[in-house]
């Protein structure tokens, strides 16, 4: 857990984004259930940014809810930052979200 938090901090800092701590209650489009999600950060236009330092990134309730937040805010997709160069991203996440590498620079 500690490594993931450090990676998150490094990625957000390099992208000049601040840490978000505000939760949102959002309906999961797959299950229809409402639940909490706390994106790691937001772009200025309201797009959620989630940093993942995992060997495998899969379609989870957390990512689906954040994608719903992005659709509400901008009509676009949530940004998922893959922090591991060799991390595997599921095809569902690749098809439905904006997957970036850890050194992305958001457009302002």
Class of domain 2-101 as given by CATH: alpha beta
Over residues 72-95, the pLDDT tens digits come to 999 999 999 988 888 899 999 999
Q: Return the percentage of the chain with pLDDT > 90, whole number.
A: 81
Nearest-angstrom CA–CA distance, 10 and 73 = 25
41-42 β-sheet, strand order: 41-42, 48-52, 79-82, 98-101
Over residues 4-44, the pLDDT tens digits come to 889 999 999 999 999 999 999 999 999 999 999 999 999 99
Report domain extents, the chain. Answer: 2-101
Q: Is 18 exposed, middle or buried (0-12, 13-18, 19+ CB in 10 A)?
A: exposed
């Amino acid at each position: 857990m500690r490594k993931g938090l450090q990676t998150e901090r490094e990625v957000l800092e390099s992208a000049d984004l601040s840490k978000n701590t505000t939760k949102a209650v959002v309906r999961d489009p797959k299950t229809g259930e409402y639940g909490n999600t706390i994106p790691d950060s937001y772009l200025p236009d309201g797009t959620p940014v989630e940093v993942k330092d995992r060997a495998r990134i899969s379609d989870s309730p957390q990512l689906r809810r954040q994608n719903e937040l992005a659709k509400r805010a901008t009509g676009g997709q949530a940004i998922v930052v893959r922090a591991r160069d060799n991390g595997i991203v599921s095809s569902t996440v690749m098809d439905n979200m904006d997957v970036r590498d850890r050194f992305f620079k958001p457009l302002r």
